[in-house]
A = this chain, B = another copy of it.
Amino acid sequence: MPTFSATSTAPVNIATLKYWGKRDVKLNLPTNSSISVTLSQDDLRATTTARASDRYTQDKLWLNGTREEIEKKPRTLTVINELRKARAEMEKADPSLPGLASLKLQIVSENNFPTAAGLASSAAGFAALVNAVALLYKLPHSPTELSVLARQGSGSACRSLFGGYVAWEMGSKDDGSDSQAVEVAPIGHWPSMKAAVLVVSAAKKDVSSTAGMQVTVHTSTLFKERITNVVPQRFEKMKKAIIDRDFPEFARLTMADSNQFHAVCLDSEPPIFYLNDVSRAAIRTVEAINAAAGKIIAAYTFDAGPNCVIYYLEENEQAVLSGLSCLNGVSGFPQVSAAASGDDRWSQQLAAGIERVIMTKVGPGPQSIDAELAEVSS
């Protein structure tokens, strides 16, 4: 039997309405729905090759050039088992199909950005893995159906199954079958969305998001109010803002929700801090950009780390970048002419704390590609 192979890329997504809290830890079922923008794979992507062969004696996994013990990765095992089960059902229904479900797999995955940068690498990685194996197995699943599998690997991975603007509907079923990603709008609906990712120097995560979110769920006395009375309305409003291409509303909701996510982290016991003084300087700088423009043209958002993602529309790029001119000289930041200076305190702190900028934009979902990743000798 030949070696079967498929390779998929998958994007990073950055939530604009945040996922924080699980109602079911095993199944990665969230306490609230969330929304994200998918970023271009030109700049940030995971690539995964999946191979099946009767020469393989065990499932094997390589992540960024390092062999990982797959049996110690229960979430990866779960996802692979689910995909294999789906293939087995196909083969049972059509015995003419090659028997891939019984073959061992080799999975090789790489990110084109540092995992440690705190840039949702697990989301892109699980989306690429799910899509690569689904391609290998020729599964008939839709992206939404695949998102249910990816979600079990890493919650926010479900949103990386789509390009453009994506919602993760929390669902209500105990088995999680309705906790899935759907498209809010494709890239083409609002193609001018851009993002500048400000990577903070020496960012060492305070608490892992997996551990941190459950501390919040169990200890924050404000958390329930957030998931019950705040997020549901924001979810509808943000979908509408995207559909209406209403950037000021989209931006206002994005910033408010980032702040509230970090607020419930701080309201946890012990408190969780992801924002630091550099993050604060980024917030004040974005506020200054909007104040100078006389309208909201930029929105900050922060995941479980100090890195700042700034969303803006292409037509406002010059105004936004000139407001960030303190970053001239930082790797990845285009040289721009300086804006009328804002508060020097924030500019200095921001410039001193950012080691790299990734200039990117809204992008498509997972892509099948021909190039294959080679395994590394184990």
Which A residues fall within an 8 A CB radius of B? Answer: 204, 221-222, 225-226, 229-230, 252, 255-256, 259-260, 262-264, 266-271, 273, 276-277, 280, 283, 287, 345
Contacts and interface: CB of A to CB of B under 8 A. Distances in A.
Q: Which of A226, A266, A273 has the most CB of B within 10 A?
A: A266
A266 B268 CA distance: 14
Contacts of A225: 221-222, 225
Q: Which 3 A-B pairs have the closest CB atoms?
A: A225-B225, A263-B267, A263-B263
23 contacts: A204-B345, A221-B226, A221-B230, A221-B256, A221-B260, A222-B222, A222-B225, A256-B269, A259-B268, A259-B269, A259-B271, A260-B266, A262-B266, A263-B263, A263-B264, A263-B267, A266-B266, A270-B283, A273-B280, A273-B283, A276-B277, A276-B280, A277-B277
Contacts of A264: 222, 263
Q: Which of A259, A268, A273 has the most CB of B within 10 A?
A: A259
Copies of this chain, how many?
2
Contacts of A345: 204
Question: Taking chain A's interface residues, is the majority helix, strand, or loop, or is none over half, making it mixed?
Answer: helix
A223 to B, nearest CB: 9
A62 B136 CA distance: 82
